[in-house]
Amino acid sequence: MNNIEKIVLITGASSGMGRATAEFLSQNNFIVYAGTRHTKKFNDIKTKNLRPITMDIRSSKSINKVINFIQDKHKNINVLVNNAGYGLVSTVENLDEDEMFKQFNINVFGLLRVSKAVIPIMRTNKSGIIINISSFLGKIGLPLLTLYNSSKYAVEGITDSLRYELKDFNIRVHSILPGFFDTEFARNNLVTNLETFDKKSPYSKLVSNLAPLIIEQINNGNKPQEAAIMILDIINNDKFAARATIGDKAKKFIPMRKELSDEDFERRVREYYNI
């Protein structure tokens, strides 16, 4: 990147991969605007390169306020990292419409709102990088995670389409597909449907087999700094692949998904997770 100032905006930056990336890039001479609803979580940060900023991706008004503030100060946003997201754990039968909308409002519509606001700046400057934090579950389905899965499948579709739309303006678009990572995701960013987790639920056997295993794999997963290092690699390498996997589970299941038939892959997943 040739800009004297290298400006990065990260959504969902107060914890996990977002926090790790904000800290890492700020240590590598980027000016990082850490978008979050919880700016107090950055009270321990002293570097002037990391700048927490109140941002609610559910609100176009909040997003535009942030974008206008950054543009007024720097005239540009070089890199957007769409990181904000959470996971709903529920069967489809137990879902209500409010839960469905909330999951897509953050993971999909929020990503689109922020991208929509940033793209005109990048297009005018004929340069930019958009990095979408997806999931290996954007390529692989698992029970109880249907809404989260489908939201990340949508992120993958958005990434593919935007790569075509923005190529003529020298704007690169990438997605990162993490496996299970040791972040605050399982502790703070998994939302459970009460009916699904009721002991009298017809899905109680599935829940008791799968949910503890998934949570264990998340809590014992890879470190979020791996994502931060990959994001810096993407920024510095204009030949970087459209998407990349990080984490043990992603590296295990994504290649397997490509190699096997749908039926064989499903059988492997059933065996692995005892479902």
For the segment 133-143, what is each residue's pLDDT rounded down to a tens digit? Answer: 999 999 999 99
Rounded to 5 degrees, φ, ψ at 87 are -120, 130
3-state DSSP assignment of residue 179: coil
Residue 42 forms part of a structural domain: yes
1: in domain:
no
Cβ 36 vs Cβ 55: under 8 Å? yes
Which pLDDT score is estimated for 3?
45
148 is catalytic: yes
Structural domain includes residue 178: yes
258 domain residue, yes or no: yes
In three-state secondary structure terms, 182 is coil
Residue 200 located in a structural domain: yes
- Work out how many domains the chain is built from and give that number: 1
**Which of 33, 139, 148, 153 does the annotation list as catalytic?**
148
In DSSP terms, which residues pair with 10 in a beta bridge?
A: 34, 81
Return the CATH number at 49: 3.40.50.720
**2 located within any domain:** no
Distance between CA 12 and CA 19 in Å, rounded?
A: 8
In the residue annotation, 152 being an active-site residue is answered as: yes
Q: What is the pLDDT of residues 30-80, one digit of tens each?
A: 999 999 999 999 988 878 999 999 999 999 999 999 999 999 999 999 999
Residue 267 maps to a domain:
yes
Separate counts of helices (H) and strands (E) for the chain: 10, 9
**134 within a domain of the structure (yes/no):** yes
Torsion over CA: 129, 51, 41, 224 (sign): positive
- The low-confidence residues of the chain, meaning pLDDT below 50, are 2-3
- Write down the pLDDT at residue 212: 86
Tokens of 159: 């990434």
Domain that holds residue 243: 7-273
Mean pLDDT over the full length of the chain: 92
Catalytic: which of 6, 152, 153, 249? Answer: 152
